[in-house]
Amino acid sequence: MKLPRILPRLSRKQRIARNLLAAVLLALLVWAVHDFRAPAADTALRWRAEEYGLPAPEALHRTAWENARRDVVFRAGAFYGTAVEYRYGWMDYAVSEFQLAEPEGAVVFLQEKRSRDPEAVYVYADLPNDARAVCALRLREIANGRAFDETYTMEAEPNEHGLYRFALERKYPEGNLKDDEALVFWVFQSTADGAGDPDFISDVKVTFFDAAGREVHTYEKELWNLQREE
């Protein structure tokens, strides 16, 4: 005996709508299982910005994912900043606290948001003809009882957002001064959160050039010098 049909036969459009609704409900269920964490990196970045009272950020640069984390440089209203993005799984992203800076004229200098082992410094420039820049970062410290005074010179070109990434290459990856340099870089990174050593001094000079090699702008700043305040 043939059983009567309980549910009406769905049309093709109705089946598509049913399947879409099921997918949405499944996504919501997965999101709930993850405590409604940010389902995308941009969402996590926007939610964190809201905690600071800032508008939705525009990402200016992101590094590649490494061990489920990556660095991000962004602009949010009148502020520029750096942070760390974390990827815990599907629909599960988070962002560290922000490290914010305001423009100084046409230039913004930014350090990474990390506690140690900096890999780069960033400079945003709103200049009409810049095509290349050279960054000279000088670091001075008494490290392990020895005077450390080195200038790191780096060159970079701006990305499509006008952001320069200057890679910090170590001068002493091996040898007796390796630990001194690691300590100095750790102290330098600490200054971004206002916790640098009293003996530490750092300053930066960035020179911008146009495509023909002509100098178009120079930015100089003393980044840390507690001795001057004494």
139-163: pLDDT as tens digits: 999 999 999 999 999 999 999 999 9
Q: How much is the pLDDT for 189?
A: 95
Q: Is the pLDDT of residue 122 over 50?
A: yes
* CA geometry: angle 72, 73, 79, nearest 5 deg: 135
Which of 197, 200, 190, 193 minimizes the C-alpha distance to 222?
200
Average pLDDT over residues 165-180: 94
Q: Name the amino acid, one letter, at 131.
A: A
Q: How much is the pLDDT for 34?
A: 45
Q: How much is the pLDDT for 31?
A: 47
Rounded distance between C-alpha atoms, residue 62 and residue 71, angstroms: 6
3-class secondary structure, 3: coil
pLDDT in tens, 79-89: 999 999 999 98
Q: Is the pLDDT of residue 199 over 60?
A: yes
Task: Name every residue whose Cβ is closer than 8 Å to that of residue 173 and which is 6 or more positions away in sequence.
Answer: none
Q: Is the pLDDT of residue 18 over 80?
A: no
Task: Name every residue whose Cβ is closer than 8 Å to that of residue 229 and which is 6 or more positions away in sequence.
Answer: none
Contact 135, 154 (CB under 8 A): yes
Which of 221, 225, 132, 160 minimizes the C-alpha distance to 187?
225
Average pLDDT over residues 184-194: 94
Contact 204, 138 (CB under 8 A): yes
5-9, 149-153, 196-200: which range is least confident on average? Answer: 5-9
